[in-house]
Amino acid sequence: MDKPFGHKNYGSIGHLPNSRLGVGDHCVTIGQARIATEKKRDKNDRIIVQEKLDGSNTGVGLLNGQLIPMGRAGYPAETSPHKQHHLFARWVNKNRNRFMDMLNEGERLVGEWLLQAHSTRYKLIHEPFVAFDLMVGSERFIFDDFMDRVSGTFQTPHVIELYEPISTREALARLGEYGFHGAIDRVEGAVWRVERNQKVDFLTKYVRQDKEDGKYFPENTGEEIMWNERFD
């Protein structure tokens, strides 16, 4: 089976020091970590820090005039072995006009699909799709351009900091125990977006040490799928 765009929907983000690493995860350099959390290189750096959400990475691309819902690996969502991705494809179809009005040919909107509980349960206070990147190939739109396109149309992650570096401790303190998206377990962490000269330079993230990957997955609990929201 081919990937419609010929590549992954979304790659991995490097972790900050002391972030919990999963299988295959990597860390950013010490220099990058300092830029994100301690001191900018100069006035041309801008740091945006947002709440990290715990769901399934998904995206919706526009290719040859057709909307394509995808999972992280870049395959069509309806071909996934997981029910949550089939439900994502259904949800995209129901919201087709919103995506068609926003996306240009070759673009894809990337976000977190929060319908199924992974390691954090949510009592969702908004729809289950939260958009955090607008991309063409591997290039990300800068934050302001992204927000100009999606604001008022799609939910985006809560912004913790909009200009300056902040430490992981400060970011978690501003989030509090449960963040701003209806989490009923402790918030997972935060994502730092470093922009320089009106381009996205790099992203990095912090995940709390006690996170248990897939804590609520049926294969780990022996129970039915735990849904954060009913989907009819």
Domains observed in the chain: 14-221 (3.30.470.30)
CA distance 135 to 117: 26
Sequence-separated (6 or more) residues with CB below 8 Å from residue 191: 13, 49, 50, 51, 52, 132, 157, 203, 204, 205
Per-residue pLDDT of the chain (232 residues; tens, 9 = 90+): 799 999 999 999 999 999 999 888 999 999 999 999 999 999 999 999 999 999 999 999 999 999 999 999 999 999 999 999 999 999 999 999 999 999 999 999 999 999 999 999 999 999 999 999 999 999 999 999 999 999 999 999 999 999 999 999 999 999 999 999 999 999 999 999 999 999 999 999 999 999 999 999 999 999 999 999 876 5
129, two tokens: 């799709």
The HSE-up count of residue 215 (CA atoms within 13 Å, CB side) is 12
Query: Which residue type occupies 90?
Result: R
| CA atoms within 13 Å, Cβ hemisphere of 106 | 5
pLDDT of residue 231: 65
CB atoms inside a 10 Å sphere around CB 52:
23
C-alpha separations of 172 from 32, 96, 157, 183, 207 in Å = 19, 35, 14, 14, 10
Which residues does 99 contact at the CB level (< 8 Å), separation at least 6?
A: 60, 62, 67, 92, 109
Nearest-10 Cα torsion for 4, 195, 159, 134: -20
Task: For residue 61, give both structure tokens.
Answer: 């691309």
Given 3-state DSSP classes, what are the helix, strand and coil percentages for the chain, each rounded to the nearest 5?
20, 30, 50
